[in-house]
Amino acid sequence: MREPDSETEVFKPFAWAGDALELIDQRLLPHTESWLRCESADAVAQAITDMVVRGAPAIGIAAAYGMALAAARGELEQCAPKLRAARPTAVNLMWAIDRVLARCGPSFEPDVVLAEAHAIAAEDLAQNRAMAKHGAAVIGGPARIYTHCNTGALATGGLGTALGVVQQLHANGDLLHAYAGETRPWLQGARLTAWELQRAGIAHQLVVDSAAASLMAQGQVDWVIVGADRITANGDVFNKIGTYSLAVLARHHGLRFMVAAPTSTIDLDAKNGDDIAIEQRPGDEVTRLAGQQIAPADTQAWNPVFDRTPYSLIDAIVTEDGQWQPQLDPAEIPPLS
């Protein structure tokens, strides 16, 4: 098992091996810690599609390194569309590819492209640290936190977005309790978030997704903190399926709801969420579990990966620059709660 980076003292889900990108295979966690070696941009694109690597910032970082592998073969312009198409909703993927193309000039020198990939990864870690401090400051004191999906180091360049805020609260002595929603159908909360919280020495409990409402009704949660895969100019948040229902539940129970995401996740070209395509995954991800069929044969499943949470249900969107305010028309400004 790889140890945390000696300089940053954080775990990273990727490693540059000189001529390849190595990714921890998140499909196999928590029971098997195996690293997949990607020697081409096509291999990186497939790893993104297959969810070997997942989480918007981590996908963007992987794509940037995929571009470096393509540049080394003189295939950057041909490979960029394949990487871009690997996951359609997470805006960090497109952002990272566009940044490499824009900053590396027409020659696409491999060393320059690789340096840009390293810069994207380093910047993400620094942003996560800043975001964690801003998020903890917004909460302002002891709190019980419910989080969804996986938003830790596994989803980023290290530390995490929403889970980074949780870790900062823990470091401050302000984390009263942490709850991780299991997050069907890929169980990122059960498999990945619980794994990261255990590694960090943070006491936590795993919660069945359908039990979140009962937990809130019993007064056991103060804040729900989630990440984001895309945020539109008006504050609509696209995140792992189930985020919207948690926001509705939080508002009903008088709780606070925070989104923690880097500014690279904000898509100012999208005025609102009306035109954002939500990725649909294969139905067998729902009808099967750990390779075993759990629904009757030939059962059809509706399997969107993300949902849309309107800004009216969100109390704070926190980035590395602090709280972010969306571009709202006067008619769109939500009432004070």
CATH fold group of domain 133-332 = Rossmann fold (3.40.50)
**The pTM is what?**
0.88
pLDDT at 274: 92
pLDDT at 78: 85
pLDDT at 10: 74
What residue segments make up the domains of the chain, in order of their start? 14-125, 133-332
pLDDT at 227: 97
What is the residue-averaged pLDDT of the chain? 92
pLDDT at 337: 43
pLDDT at 332: 54
pLDDT at 6: 41
- With contact defined as beta carbons under 8 Å apart, do 61 and 96 qualify? yes
pLDDT (average), residues 115-144: 96
- With contact defined as beta carbons under 8 Å apart, do 216 and 192 qualify? no
Distance (Å, whole) CA 46 – CA 64: 14
- Please state the φ and ψ torsions of residue 175, each to the nearest 5 degrees: -90, 105
pLDDT at 7: 43
pLDDT at 329: 63
15-42 per-position pLDDT tens digit = 999 999 999 999 999 999 999 999 999 9
- Answer whether residue 163 shows pLDDT above 80: yes
Q: How far is CA 98 from CA 15, 62, 106, 226, 267, in A?
A: 22, 14, 13, 26, 13
pLDDT at 3: 39
User: 14-125 has which CATH code?
Assistant: 1.20.120.420
pLDDT band at residue 331, thresholds of 50, 70 and 90? low
196-215 per-position pLDDT tens digit = 999 999 999 999 999 999 99
Q: What is the 3-state secondary structure (H, E, C) of the chain?
A: CCCCCCCCCCCCCEEECCCCEEEECCCCCCCCCCEEEECCHHHHHHHHHCCCCCCHHHHHHHHHHHHHHHHHCCCHHHHHHHHHCCCCCCHHHHHHHHHHHHHCCCCCCHHHHHHHHHHHHHHHHHHHHHHHHHHHHHHCCCEEEEECCCCEHHHCCCCECHHHHHHHHHHHCCEEEEEEECCCCCCHHHHHHHHHHHHCCCCEEEECHHHHHHHHHCCCCCEEEECCCEEECCCCEEEECCHHHHHHHHHHCCCEEEEECCHHHEECCCCCHHHCCCCECCCHHHHEECCEECCCCCCCCCCECEEEECHHHCCEEEECCEECCCCCCHHHCCCCC
pLDDT at 8: 44
pLDDT band at residue 138, thresholds of 50, 70 and 90? very high
pLDDT (average), residues 286-311: 94
Distance (Å, whole) CA 180 – CA 287: 23
Distance (Å, whole) CA 52 – CA 265: 20
pLDDT (average), residues 222-243: 96
241-273 per-position pLDDT tens digit = 999 999 999 999 999 999 999 998 999 999 999
Neighbours of 169 (CB within 10 A): 25
pLDDT (average), residues 309-336: 83
* pLDDT-wise least confident of 81-85, 105-109, 309-313: 105-109
Active site residue ranges: 229
